[in-house]
Amino acid sequence: MRTLTAATLGLAMMLGAATYASADCQKSIRLVASPAGKAIAADARARVRAITKTPTFVKQDLVVEMSAVVPNGTTFLVFANGQPMGTITIAFGVGRRVVNNETPNVRPAGADPVCSIGPVIVTEGAGNTILSGSF
C-alpha cells in the first residue's frame, strides 16, 4: 500500500511540474525594416519569454531592442497583437522597450500572456511602420 501511495504521489508531482513548465516559452525574432525603416537604417530584434518561478508566478516579458540612424531623443511606438506596448527612445543610435509583469509593472492587454504574442510592429510618430515581424 505504501508503494502504491508513493508512486501515485510521485506521478501527481511530476504531472504538476509538467503543467507549470508548459507555461514556459522563449522565442525571438528579427524585425524587418519597411522602406521608411531602411531609410534610417533601422534594425530590431524582439523576444518573448515566460519562466515559471513558483507554482503561482510565471515571470513574463517582451523585449524589443532597435537601432536607427536618427537624432538622440527620437521616439518610436511599439505594438504587439495590435495593442500599444509603449515607446522606444533612441539614445546614441539604440533604444529598448521592456514590458514585464514584475511588481509594480502591469503588462498591457495585448501582452498577456506573452507567449501568445504574434505580430510586433514599430512605428514612427505619424504611424508609419518602420519595423515589423511575427512570432
For 2-49, the pLDDT digits (tens) are 554 444 445 444 444 444 445 799 999 999 999 999 999 999 999 999
Per-residue pLDDT reduced to its tens digit, 94-106? 999 999 998 888 8
Q: Is the pLDDT of residue 132 over 90?
A: yes
CB 121 within 8 A of CB 131: yes
CB-based contacts of 3: which residues, under 8 Å, 6+ apart? none
Residue with cell 495585448: 110
Distance CA 45, CA 24 (A): 20
